[in-house]
Amino acid sequence: MSDHQSVIMAMERESLAALSELLPNEEIRMIRPPQTGLLMMVAKDPFATDFCLGEILVTEAETEYRGHRGYAMVMGDEPEKATLTAAVAAIFQGNNDVLKTRIGQFLAPLASSLSQKAEWERRLLSKTQVNFETMVKG
C-alpha cells in the first residue's frame, strides 16, 4: 500500500472533501468507476505456510490525469476513497509539480499523525510479546 493510500484510507469525510477540492476534477477522467469485489486474503502461518483467511470486500477504481493512469484497490465498500486514491496516484505519475506539492502538503500532517499512532501502538504491543523459545520450561 502506498503512503498516500494509507493516509486516504484513514481520512474522515471532512478531510476527503477537502482533498477532493484540491484536485482538478475537470481534468481527471474516470477509466473504471468504483466497483466492489471480493479478494482472497492470504497470510503466512508460523511455519511460513500460506493460510487462507477468507474473502475480503474491496473497491477498485481507475482514473487518468493528463495521460497518466492511476489505479487503486482499497478494503471495504469505499468508492470515494478508491476514486481519490486512484486520482492521486495518476497525478503523482505526472509532471504537475505544483499540484503534487499541494497534495503532499495536505497529506503530510495526516501521515505524521498516523505514523505517531502506529509507533505508539507498536510500543504498547511490544510489551506483551512473548518469545516462547526463551521461556523457562517447567
Least Cα distance to 19 among 88, 77, 94 occurs for 88
28 phi and psi, to 5 degrees?
A: -95, 120
Predicted local distance difference test score (pLDDT) of residue 2:
60
> b vs e for 80-118, b when ≥16 Cβ sit within 10 Å of the residue's Cβ?
bbbbbbbbbbbbbeeebeebeeebeeebeebeeebeeee
**DSSP letter (8 states) at residue 23:** S
Of 44-48, 56-60, 70-74, 102-106, which range is least confident? 44-48
From 28-37, 94-103, 114-123, the region with the lowest mean pLDDT: 114-123
pLDDT at 123 over 90: no
Residue 138 has pLDDT above 80, yes or no: no
Mean pLDDT of 62-80: 96
